[in-house]
Amino acid sequence: NAGVMQNPRHLVRRRGQEARLRCSPMKGHSHVYWYRQLPEEGLKFMVYLQKENIIDESGMPKERFSAEFPKEGPSILRIQQVVRGDSAAYFCASSPLSEETQYFGPGTRLLVL
């Protein structure tokens, strides 16, 4: 069983560009979480999604950030008009319907120039 997949692993953007981060959960997992790890900090919750639904986006910045988890395909975290402060590692985690353990992907490291 393949683990959680994230791509790209590294992403470089210039200020003002858009960043799209993809997450494919483990097979059979329908819950997806996104976390952000700023340099020298722990992980902070951003958003929790189930298929076609955003359940909790209390950790998402109010502007420029959005997330989706369509019926088919990976979950997408989208950052519009990136700024240098968006430089961070973005981790996706997935869990099965009835369990509480989250399994993490390798992360996408975003660098904004």
Partner 1 sequence: AQSVTQPDIHITVSEGASLELRCNYSYGATPYLFWYVQSPGQGLQLLLKYFSGDTLVQGIKGFEAEFKRSQSSFNLRKPSVHWSDAAEYFCAVGDSGATNKLIFGTGTLLAVQP
- Residue 84 gets the label, from left (phi > 0), alpha (psi -120 to 50) or beta, of alpha
User: Is 33 among the residues that bind partner 1 (CB under 8 A)?
Assistant: yes
In angstroms, rounded to a whole number, what is the distance separating the alpha carbons of residues 110 and 87? 5
Q: Give 17 or 89: the residue with its C-beta nearer to partner 1.
A: 89
User: Is 42 among the residues that bind partner 1 (CB under 8 A)?
Assistant: yes
Written as six digits, the tokens of 41 are 């900090």
Q: Give 39 or 85: the residue with its C-beta nearer to partner 1.
A: 39
Q: Which of residues 56-95 bind partner 1 (CB under 8 A)?
A: 56, 59, 91, 93, 95
Among 24, 105, 110, 112, binds partner 1 (CB under 8 A): 105
User: Is 41 among the residues that bind partner 1 (CB under 8 A)?
Assistant: yes
In angstroms, rounded to a whole number, what is the distance separating the alpha carbons of residues 16 and 106? 26
Beta bridge partners of 66: 78
User: Is 35 among the residues that bind partner 1 (CB under 8 A)?
Assistant: yes
CB 34 within 8 A of CB 47: yes
In angstroms, rounded to a whole number, what is the distance separating the alpha carbons of residues 14 and 103? 31
Among 12, 52, 55, 73, binds partner 1 (CB under 8 A): 55
Residues lying near partner 1 in the complex (CB under 8 A): 4, 6, 31, 33, 35, 41-45, 48, 55-56, 59, 91, 93, 95, 100-107, 109
